[in-house]
Structure 1
Amino acid sequence: MARSPLHGRRIHISGSVVEDVAVAAGDDVRLARESVAELVKALVRRGANFVVPVDAEPKRRADGLPICFDWLIWQTLRDNLTHPPAGVPARW
């Protein structure tokens, strides 16, 4: 199998969810989080490395959903440690 052009590249996913539930309803936030998790899984399978900040996980006052994706990315990476292709250097 040909090596992915993402093999060994560093990926930094950045962004946050707006506090206002009128702009981003809870279902939208859950969908965004699912999309980020699926993206991370796909990138891991292609050999990408990640740059992930470590900070608190602020939550929205209205529904308690996380505002940032950092801890979701860490968790998804941890859950998918066995999926990167062979020969990928230090992953994260």
Structure 2
Amino acid sequence: MAESTIFQESEHTPWQELGGGLSRQVLGYNGQLMLVKVRFEKGGIGALHHHPHTQVTYVANGRFEATIGDLKQTVTTGDGFYVPPNVCMV
């Protein structure tokens, strides 16, 4: 599995458009963990998906509803959540 460089600089990492009002910057990653910066436009909605690796999210600002497996909760600035491998999320 590919692995990211030790340091990631946001200004040198391209944004990828995902559709539906979402875009992302893939920062640090290996076969077990991935760090991604995600930007939602107002009204943007994510698609149901899962990853083979662990995902941890920190909400830098804003508010949105997250669904992880069978759990749903609104998260806001300063909150975070953990997504185990292969668990569906939106």
Q: TM-score range by the shorter chain?
A: under 0.3
Higher Rg of the two aligned structures: 1
Structure with greater proportional strand content? 2
Length-normalised TM-score, structure 1: 0.27
Structure (1 or 2) with the greater helix fraction: 1
Structure 2 length as normaliser, TM-score?
A: 0.28
Point out which structure has higher relative CO (alpha carbons under 8 A, 6+ apart): 1
